[in-house]
Chains A and B, each alone.
Chain A
Amino acid sequence: MKSALKVTLGMAAALAATTAMTGVSQAEDLTLCWAAWDPANALVELSKDFTAQTGIGMKFEFVPWTNYADRFLNELNSKGKLCDLIIGDSQWIGGSAENGHYVKLNDFFDKEGIKMSDFVDATVVGYSQWPKNTPNYWALPAMGDVVGWTYRKDWFTKPELQKEFKEKYGWDLDAPKTFEQLKQVAEFFQNREIDGKKVYGASIYTERGSEGVTMGVMDVLYSFGFKYENPDKPYEMEGFVNSDKSVKGLEFYKALYDCCTPPGASNSYMGEGVDAFKSGQVAMHMNFAFTWPGLQKDEAVGGDKVGFFANPAGPDGEQFAQLGGQGISVVSYSDKQESALKYIKWFADKDVQAKWWSLGGFSCLKAVVEDPKFPDSQPYAKTFLDSMAIVKDFWAEPSYASLLQASQKRFHDYVVAGQGTAKEALDGLVKDWTEVFEDDGKM
């Protein structure tokens, strides 16, 4: 009887302790929200160290890119408590700062000695600051990303193709340095038979639903001389968005789509681009840098078969690339802000950032990317560095979604559906964007 009592008391104590521990663990667990993609898996791996060091458990809420903005902007707008930490897209920063979704991090950075000057300048402006170019920080640069290109090095080095290309275009077949060269390479490969299979020139962004065609078009327009506004008079877009240079850039993008993309590639974005490259359909592939580690490791097209190059220069030698990537922020509706800030402090550490890069994430810390060994650390590392030095980003205004939808429509109507002219598309875009800023009371 006595032993039975002991057993019962022991079990009750164990049960009570387990319940209490579970309670503690649940109270400390942080939920991090991000897109469902390869770097997210790397972050899960990396965050195990944070849990080991602090005892704070990490839960993750990853949503596919197609629903990423809808899902998490809904969550933030409804003041939801699902996410304690969020890695939000760079364009959300204005809206999230002005609407109070993110915790302002200036005081925290000062207290913990985290300096924004330690991070790549473009990523600080792109992912952390609002208003832009002011010392108001709402996120820590987390995942550097930029649009660049991959190409089939094994095809480019085939002697018979090199010979034919040189005869036709007068220069050596290699990674293109200008958009003119890029189009020539794409034309050369379009409908060519290689290893018994018909291949195509290039995979470019044409997606209509979210942001695809805008990211692709902008990636080209910047280098042709496109500017969002008058540098001396904010929000004045006439003559800048629809300048002659911008018109030429948009015409170029349409010409590239018409001449050199695989059949039916009218709604193609990151996933479709990767599929086209991996399946050996295209010679070149426009995509964000986050796809590069996966392609490098791919058995069919990776290793020595793949090469990387930064966005080529435009007709006047200007060279820019569309910024991607995100910063990590603390959600102001979270009840666990203290623990969330601990995570940010841990994530900003140099060793953690170095491991982040080694696992497949793209660190924005200068100490990592400016390390002399960095360019040789991965085959794509130098291209990533070169690309990050030439980035430009889309509007990050609170109305970015309306601005983006307008450009999606205007660009897709012209590039894919072939409606109207490039000039009409850009004039229409100025009209749409002006309307949005007027609604916002900014004009």
Chain B
Amino acid sequence: MQDLTGRRPVVTDTHPSLLDRTMEAAARATPEPLATTVRGLSDRMVAWIFIAPTILLLLAINIFPLIWTIRLSFTNYRANRPNEAVKDIGLSNYARILTDSDTWMAMQTTAHFVLWTIVLQTLIGFTLAYLIDRKFRGHAVWTTIILVPMMLSPAVVGNFWRFLYEPQIGLFAYIVSFFTGIPPTEILMLSNVTLAPWAIVIVDTWMWTPYVMLICLAGLRSIPDYIYEAAEVDRASNWRQFWSITLPMALPFIMLAVLFRGIENFKMFDMVNLLTGGGPGSTTEVASITLKREAFEKWRTGFSSAFAIILFVAVFGLANIYVKVLNRVKSR
């Protein structure tokens, strides 16, 4: 009996094991022509055969659309006018986007969201992870409770918070009113231009802080106990242990969480769309909302393709720089 690579299996026991018997049965069941064909293939070829479907799928659903988007970004194509001639307009779309004040406003709004959500989620997430890592009584229950928001669908969270923020019947307005004395009907979280951006930051922080906590917790749990034991022997204070052991060793994990949340929040759409739809006015119109409006409401397909490429390059470039910094931190 030969295996698929043409070698005879090594038999070490007179009573074949279950695995041996299964392999033997599989070899017998393999049709002769296929066995012969496979026998003639190199390892590299077999590997290619296995990964080819995945590569083809990636090409079809990732690479081809990307190349097609790049191509469209140099045209005046509109998906709602199939009968109109498509003209090449060079870099006009890119020039228009980069000189358009509304686009820059959307980018600034996005940057504010990314900054504040990351700052809050990292601070609160790491603090929660640090507390949960103390392994107090009932910490498993608390961990589960804290993780619940992350498990909900963004559509559910968006609608749920829209009702919570409702000035006439919403719980949020009543709680704030209870502590501040301001009438609930004056707490217009989604209608006030100053409060609306913060309303979205609060919801995103509520939902995604557990995710940051989880990654930070993994980082904290990976620090070996003997390092703390050695620090105890050296009579290092808790504060000193935190600054010299905990934070530096958990830093790559924190940075990883920041990277994930940064990329996600740069693309933030669902929450903003559900809570404010970009309003009041354009105060919460992040880049992804602008992109959706250009692509699927104004139907400026060429223009929106150029905008999508600019966003892609921005996220990809920033993420690459960040990963390099992250690797440097890890190698220290």
Binding site for B on A (CB under 8 A): 70, 73-74, 77, 79, 95, 98-100, 207-209, 262-267, 281, 398, 401-402, 404-405, 409, 412-414, 416-419, 439
- Is B167 interfacial (CB-CB < 8 Å)? yes
Contact A263 B185 (CB under 8 A): yes
Using a CB-CB cutoff of 8 Å, which residues 67-88 of chain B contact chain A? 76, 79-83
Give A405 to B102 CA distance when docked, in angstroms. 13
Give A410 to B277 CA distance when docked, in angstroms. 15
Of the A-B pairs whose beta carbons lie under 8 Å apart in the complex, a sample of 22, sorted by A's number, is A77-B79, A95-B81, A98-B81, A98-B83, A99-B80, A99-B81, A208-B280, A209-B277, A209-B278, A262-B168, A264-B188, A266-B188, A267-B276, A267-B277, A401-B298, A402-B298, A402-B300, A409-B282, A412-B280, A412-B282, A417-B193, A418-B281
User: In this complex, what residue of A is CB-closest to B102?
Assistant: A409
Q: What's the minimum C-beta distance from B55 to chain A, rounded to whole angstroms?
A: 28
Q: What's the minimum C-beta distance from B83 to chain A, rounded to whole angstroms?
A: 6
Using a CB-CB cutoff of 8 Å, which residues 270-305 of chain B contact chain A? 273, 276-283, 293, 296-300
Contact B81 A264 (CB under 8 A): no
Question: Could you say which of A281, A402, A417 contacts B282, with CB atoms under 8 Å apart?
Answer: A417
Give A418 to B194 CA distance when docked, in angstroms. 11
Given contacts A208-B277, A405-B293, A417-B282, contact A264 B168 (CB under 8 A): yes
Given contacts A99-B82, A263-B186, A263-B188, contact A401 B297 (CB under 8 A): yes
Give A95 to B279 CA distance when docked, in angstroms. 28
What are the nearest 9 A-B pairs in CB distance? A417-B281, A266-B191, A413-B281, A208-B279, A263-B185, A209-B277, A264-B167, A402-B298, A263-B167
- Is B204 interfacial (CB-CB < 8 Å)? no
- Is B190 interfacial (CB-CB < 8 Å)? yes
Contact A266 B279 (CB under 8 A): yes
Residues of B within 8 Å of A79, CB to CB, are 82
Contact A208 B298 (CB under 8 A): no
Contact A95 B282 (CB under 8 A): no
- With A99-B83, A209-B277 given, name 5 new contacts (CB 8 A): A70-B297, A95-B81, A209-B278, A266-B280, A413-B281
Question: Could you say which of B81, B168, B188, B280 contacts A398, with CB atoms under 8 Å apart?
Answer: B81
Contact B298 A405 (CB under 8 A): yes
Using a CB-CB cutoff of 8 Å, which residues 52-106 of chain B contact chain A? 76, 79-83, 102
Residues of B within 8 Å of A73, CB to CB, are 80, 299
Given contacts A413-B281, A418-B193, contact A405 B81 (CB under 8 A): no
Question: Could you say which of B102, B185, B279 contacts A416, with CB atoms under 8 Å apart?
Answer: B279
Residues of B within 8 Å of A266, CB to CB, are 188, 190-191, 279-280
User: In this complex, what residue of A is CB-closest to B192?
Assistant: A266
Q: What's the minimum C-beta distance from A57 to chain B, rounded to whole angstroms?
A: 31
Contact A416 B281 (CB under 8 A): yes
Q: What's the minimum C-beta distance from B205 to chain A, rounded to whole angstroms?
A: 22
User: In this complex, what residue of B is CB-closest to A414?
Assistant: B281
User: In this complex, what residue of B is CB-closest to A281?
Assistant: B168
Contact B281 A412 (CB under 8 A): yes
Given contacts A77-B80, A263-B168, contact A405 B297 (CB under 8 A): yes
Give A412 to B190 CA distance when docked, in angstroms. 14
Give A269 to B27 CA distance when docked, in angstroms. 68
Binding site for A on B (CB under 8 A): 76, 79-83, 102, 165-168, 185-186, 188, 190-191, 193, 273, 276-283, 293, 296-300
Contact B191 A264 (CB under 8 A): yes
Residues of B within 8 Å of A402, CB to CB, are 298-300
User: In this complex, what residue of A is CB-closest to B303?
Assistant: A439
Residues of B within 8 Å of A281, CB to CB, are 168
Give A267 to B278 CA distance when docked, in angstroms. 10
Residues of B within 8 Å of A95, CB to CB, are 80-81
Give A414 to B193 CA distance when docked, in angstroms. 12
Given contacts A398-B81, A405-B297, contact A264 B166 (CB under 8 A): yes
Contact A417 B280 (CB under 8 A): yes
Give A264 to B165 CA distance when docked, in angstroms. 9
Give A404 to B299 CA distance when docked, in angstroms. 12
| Residue in A207, A267, A419 whose Cβ sees the most chain B Cβ within 10 Å | A267
Give A99 to B81 CA distance when docked, in angstroms. 6
Question: Could you say which of B82, B167, B296, B300 contacts A70, with CB atoms under 8 Å apart?
Answer: B296
Given contacts A79-B82, A208-B278, contact A265 B191 (CB under 8 A): yes
Residues of A within 8 Å of B82, CB to CB, are 77, 79, 99
Contact B79 A267 (CB under 8 A): no
Residues of A within 8 Å of B296, CB to CB, are 70, 74
Q: What's the minimum C-beta distance from B183 to chain A, rounded to whole angstroms?
A: 9
Contact A267 B282 (CB under 8 A): no
Residues of A within 8 Å of B193, CB to CB, are 417-419
Residues of A within 8 Å of B297, CB to CB, are 70, 401, 404-405
Residues of A within 8 Å of B80, CB to CB, are 73, 77, 95, 99, 398, 401
Contact B298 A416 (CB under 8 A): no
Give A253 to B280 CA distance when docked, in angstroms. 16
Residues of A within 8 Å of B282, CB to CB, are 409, 412-413, 417
Given contacts A77-B80, A267-B279, contact A401 B299 (CB under 8 A): yes
User: In this complex, what residue of A is CB-closest to B188?
Assistant: A264
Q: What's the minimum C-beta distance from A290 to chain B, rounded to whole angstroms?
A: 23
Give A281 to B167 CA distance when docked, in angstroms. 13
Give A208 to B76 CA distance when docked, in angstroms. 27
Q: What's the minimum C-beta distance from A277 to chain B, rounded to whole angstroms?
A: 14
Give A404 to B298 CA distance when docked, in angstroms. 8
Give A96 to B166 CA distance when docked, in angstroms. 39
Give A416 to B276 CA distance when docked, in angstroms. 12
Residues of B within 8 Å of A409, CB to CB, are 102, 281-282
User: In this complex, what residue of B is CB-closest to A398?
Assistant: B81
Q: What's the minimum C-beta distance from B118 to chain A, rounded to whole angstroms?
A: 26
Q: What's the minimum C-beta distance from A253 to chain B, rounded to whole angstroms?
A: 14
Residues of A within 8 Å of B167, CB to CB, are 263-264
Give A267 to B280 CA distance when docked, in angstroms. 8
User: In this complex, what residue of B is CB-closest to A409?
Assistant: B282
Give A416 to B81 CA distance when docked, in angstroms. 33
Q: What's the minimum C-beta distance from B28 to chain A, rounded to whole angstroms?
A: 43
Residues of A within 8 Å of B102, CB to CB, are 409
Give A267 to B274 CA distance when docked, in angstroms. 11
Contact A419 B81 (CB under 8 A): no
Q: What's the minimum C-beta distance from A355 to chain B, rounded to whole angstroms?
A: 36
Residues of B within 8 Å of A100, CB to CB, are 83
Give A100 to B83 CA distance when docked, in angstroms. 8
Residues of A within 8 Å of B273, CB to CB, are 209
Give A209 to B273 CA distance when docked, in angstroms. 9
